[in-house]
Amino acid sequence: MASINKPLEEYTSVKTWFNGLREQSGVDPHDDPSRVAFLKEFCASLELDPDEIVSACLLKKEGKETKISIKGRRSMAERIADFQTAGAEPRERPKRGNTIRSCLIHNGILLQAGIQI
């Protein structure tokens, strides 16, 4: 486990996420500073950097193609659900979870939100 030791925007997974937002949605990621704030808070809660969070959802076997880990993805979805509700106002909860899911989705990890309460 690592701590964040450089600006979030310098991590490969964050660059991929931000590029995806720009290319697919025409959104400037810096227009909403909560994106970086939520990701930083989520990373701190797991004691992982953004690249490690993406890697935790992957299954890597020597000599074989990297695949999405069902266990890893399920575990991360549970952690996102916990993060979404932790200390947040009810109206802010979906945005917290959706922000983290967006980062993972743009990095090739398919996640669904489930019911938003």
The answer as to whether 55 is a domain residue is: yes
Nearest to 31 by CA among 39, 23, 22: 22
pTM, two decimals, is 0.88
In a domain, 3, yes or no: no
Residue 52 lies in a domain: yes
Quickly count: other Cβ atoms within 10 Å of residue 108's Cβ: 13
The domain of 64 spans: 11-106
| pLDDT tens, the chain, 117 aa long | 567 889 999 999 999 999 999 999 999 999 999 999 999 999 999 999 999 999 999 988 777 777 888 899 999 999 999 999 887 788 899 999 999 999 999 999 987 765 544
